Amino acid sequence: MISKRRSIEELRDLSDEIDENILGASDADVSEELVSLGIDPEKVAAEMDAIAEEAKRMAGKSRLASARAAAAAFSSKRPGAAQSDKSALRTKFQKMRSGGPGGNDSLMMAARKGKQLSSNDEEGALDDLAQLEALESEDREASKE
């Protein structure tokens, strides 16, 4: 049993030495060795470059797929206001802007050349308000636990 373990360790050591020898060899040594084996060093270098480029491309695709999945997961977690919620949010938003009763503090919006808010501005504010309410509800739930 002992000799079997010793043999395995010796083989492992030999493998490590071979790896170190290969990794420590200079380009000239590797080229000389390849030529002695009848292999074109330029062809090997081109193949290795192609393998490296393919690995980079595959890693890039994998990272892109992961990023897309993370973005999709993030987007699905964002609170999207339902149509009935939007009307309630719109009412709350109008009360906030006017500073009327039932509204929080009055809300000031940047003027757009003296015109009313654009529909994009209003939708953005409603989305922000929906996200704020969702965060506040999460905060209330977390404080209950």
pLDDT tens-place string over residues 26-44: 989 999 999 999 999 999 9
Lowest mean pLDDT among 12-21, 50-59, 75-84, 95-104: 75-84
| Strand, helix or coil for residue 89 | helix
**CA–CA dist 78, 70 (Å, integer):** 12
In single-letter form, the type of residue at position 12 comes to R
**pLDDT of 55 strictly over 80:** yes
**CA–CA dist 5, 32 (Å, integer):** 37
Percent pLDDT > 90 in the chain is 37
**CA–CA dist 78, 141 (Å, integer):** 17
Which tens digits make up the pLDDT trace of 91-129?
887 787 776 555 455 566 666 666 677 777 778 888 888
Cβ neighbours, 10 Å, residue 93: 20
- pLDDT score of 121: 77
**pLDDT of 46 strictly over 70:** yes
89: pLDDT confidence band, cut at 50, 70 and 90? confident
Q: Is 86 exposed, middle or buried (0-12, 13-18, 19+ CB in 10 A)?
A: middle
Q: Where are the domains of the chain?
A: 2-76, 80-144
**Structure token pair of residue 139:** 């905060």
What's this model's pTM, rounded to 2 decimal places?
0.41
Average pLDDT over residues 71-88: 67
**CA–CA dist 102, 95 (Å, integer):** 7
CB 82 within 8 A of CB 90: no
- pLDDT score of 81: 45
Lowest mean pLDDT among 19-23, 28-32, 75-79: 75-79
Q: Residue 81: which of 131, 37, 18, 142 has the closest Cα?
A: 131
112: phi then psi, degrees, rounded to nearest 5: -115, 85
